[in-house]
């Protein structure tokens, strides 16, 4: 009898505080589901669900192709997906803040690009305007490092023909532009360069991110950030200096970065993210603060409030404090009665 429910390994239910999300890691998409359904899936995957056949939950699961009904014998044909995550690179992503002086970019890249498995991606970011001549020098430097995939984020100037200058970079984004536009593979946006902005459009719902996020912080993991003065810093906003970047000391610097404990800090351990249904697809860049008791929290409130499942741009959004939630250096304090009342008024 096909009484056994088997959820496909690449379909992962993730429980949130007020609602849940089902991640489809192959389709790279996600659907919202109620917490009841999420709990039903988590507790009945691989089990005899004969007593629930004909129920809405089973119908929804089969209709959405999240799983199948099969025999007890066939359940074993669907082993769980390994959530181990490894990469060959020492550095997954180097974020280098550049200015007009080029700040020793060639030396930094010579160190990061010394062999094909040292550094996978480099993002160059210029908060200040860089003129065309100096920009061409930057692109000349990039040409020397074919092992590295480059993204370049620049601040807009009307005097530069960015399409003509661009070469050998994957993404070139021009910020603070007059209007939003994509032209000859150059993306223009009227937004200013920001490193603490969260949006669903930045989420990555895929196997690699999901597996990495089980063990690591998907923004900080294997990341090095170097400022305009060649200092390795912890974060673009707070800019706490960790060490001066000296090419021959790369391994020592990576050791110091790892010791900061952010690489191996999944969102499951960060207040408020640990209650959020997006925690395995969100790579927000916020500074993380460690409390004296060893727990962690984001230094700034997110634009998404997972306790009421609302983004700040949505109708009826309320921030944490209005919902009776305090998250600061003293801990996370949730007034569950206030949250319950707000959620009831919003959704029921």
What CA–CA distance (Å, rounded) separates 320 from 298?
A: 13
Q: Which of 67, 266, 306, 324 binds ligand SF4 (CB under 6 A)?
A: 306
Q: Which residue has the tokens 């150059």?
A: 186
What CA–CA distance (Å, rounded) separates 12 from 30?
A: 9
Using rule CB under 6 A, residue 19 touches ligand SF4: no
Q: Which of 282, 285, 320, 342 binds ligand SF4 (CB under 6 A)?
A: 282
Q: Encode burial over 293-305: b for 16+ CB neighbours within 10 A, e otherwise.
A: eeebbbeebbbbb
Which of residues 8 and 85 has its CB atom nearest to ligand SF4 in the complex? Answer: 85
What CA–CA distance (Å, rounded) separates 65 from 60?
A: 8
Q: Which of 210, 297, 304, 307 binds ligand SF4 (CB under 6 A)?
A: 304
Q: How far is the CB of 57 from ligand SF4 (least distance, A)?
A: 26
Using rule CB under 6 A, residue 198 touches ligand SF4: yes
Which of residues 241 and 326 has its CB atom nearest to ligand SF4 in the complex? Answer: 326
Which tokens in the block code for residue 254?
A: 């990576």
Site for ligand SF4 (CB under 6 A): how many residues?
12
Neighbours of 143 (CB within 10 A): 9
Which of residues 246 and 301 has its CB atom nearest to ligand SF4 in the complex? Answer: 301
Which tokens in the block code for residue 260?
A: 């900061």
Q: How far is the CB of 13 from ligand SF4 (least distance, A)?
A: 16
Q: How far is the CB of 121 from ligand SF4 (least distance, A)?
A: 21
Give the closest residue to 126 by CA, choosing from 199, 170, 167, 176: 176
Q: Which of 302, 308, 309, 342 binds ligand SF4 (CB under 6 A)?
A: 302
Q: How far is the CB of 73 from ligand SF4 (least distance, A)?
A: 39
3-state secondary structure 141-172: HHCCCCCCEEEEEEECCCCCCHHHHCCCCCEE
Q: How far is the CB of 68 from ligand SF4 (least distance, A)?
A: 30
Q: How far is the CB of 94 from ligand SF4 (least distance, A)?
A: 23
Q: How far is the CB of 198 from ligand SF4 (least distance, A)?
A: 5
Give the closest residue to 241 by CA, choosing from 251, 228, 131: 228
Neighbours of 192 (CB within 10 A): 11
Q: How far is the CB of 330 from ligand SF4 (least distance, A)?
A: 19
Measured on CA atoms in the order 85, 88, 89, 93, is the torsion positive or negative?
A: negative
x-or-dash string of contact with ligand SF4, 234-273, rule CB under 6 A? ---------------------------------x----xx
Looking at the DSSP assignment, which residues form a beta bridge with residue 232? 226, 243
Which tokens in the block code for residue 275?
A: 């209650």
Which of residues 57 and 263 has its CB atom nearest to ligand SF4 in the complex? Answer: 263
Which of residues 111 and 305 has its CB atom nearest to ligand SF4 in the complex? Answer: 305
Using rule CB under 6 A, residue 320 touches ligand SF4: no
Q: Which of 276, 308, 309, 323 binds ligand SF4 (CB under 6 A)?
A: 276
Which of residues 311 and 347 has its CB atom nearest to ligand SF4 in the complex? Answer: 311
Count the helix, strand and coil residues of the chain and give each as a percent rounded to the nearest 5.
Answer: 25, 25, 50
Q: How far is the CB of 304 from ligand SF4 (least distance, A)?
A: 4
Give the closest residue to 80 by CA, choosing from 178, 232, 210: 210
Q: Which of 95, 266, 284, 324 binds ligand SF4 (CB under 6 A)?
A: 284
Binding residues vs ligand SF4 (CB under 6 A): 198, 267, 272-273, 276, 278-279, 282, 284, 302, 304, 306
């Amino acid at each position: 009898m096909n009484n056994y429910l088997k959820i496909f390994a690449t379909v992962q239910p993730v429980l949130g505080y007020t609602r849940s999300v089902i991640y489809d890691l192959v389709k790279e998409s996600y659907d919202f589901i109620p917490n009841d359904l999420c709990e039903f899936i988590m507790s009945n995957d691989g089990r005899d669900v004969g007593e629930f056949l004909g129920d809405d939950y089973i119908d929804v699961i089969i209709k959405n192709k999240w799983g199948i009904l099969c025999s007890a014998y066939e359940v074993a044909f669907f082993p769980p997906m390994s959530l181990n995550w490894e990469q060959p690179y020492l550095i997954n992503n180097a974020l280098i803040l550049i200015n007009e002086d080029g700040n020793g970019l060639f030396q930094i890249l010579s160190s990061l690009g010394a062999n094909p498995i040292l550094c996978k991606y480099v993002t160059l970011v210029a908060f200040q305007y860089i003129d065309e001549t100096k920009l061409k020098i930057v692109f000349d430097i990039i040409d020397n490092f074919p092992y590295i995939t480059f993204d370049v984020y620049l601040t807009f100037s009307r005097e530069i023909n960015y399409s003509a200058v661009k070469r050998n970079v994957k993404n070139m984004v021009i910020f603070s532009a007059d209007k939003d536009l994509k032209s000859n593979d150059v993306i223009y946006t009227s937004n200013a360069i920001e490193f603490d902005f969260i949006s669903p459009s930045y989420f990555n719902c895929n196997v690699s991110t999901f597996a990495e996020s089980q063990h690591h912080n998907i923004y900080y993991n294997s990341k090095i950030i170097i400022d305009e003065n060649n200092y390795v810093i912890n974060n673009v906003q707070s800019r706490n200096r960790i060490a001066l970047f000296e090419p021959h000391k790369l391994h020592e610097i990576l050791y110091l970065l790892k010791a900061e404990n952010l690489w191996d800090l999944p969102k499951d351990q960060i207040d408020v993210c640990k209650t959020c249904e997006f925690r395995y697809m969100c790579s927000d860049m916020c500074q993380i603060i460690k409390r004296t008791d060893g727990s962690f929290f984001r230094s700034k409130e997110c634009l998404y409030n997972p306790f009421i499942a609302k983004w700040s741009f949505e109708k009826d959004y309320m921030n944490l404090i209005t919902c009776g939630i305090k998250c600061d250096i003293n801990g996370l304090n949730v007034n569950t009665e206030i949250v319950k009342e707000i959620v009831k008024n919003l959704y029921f």
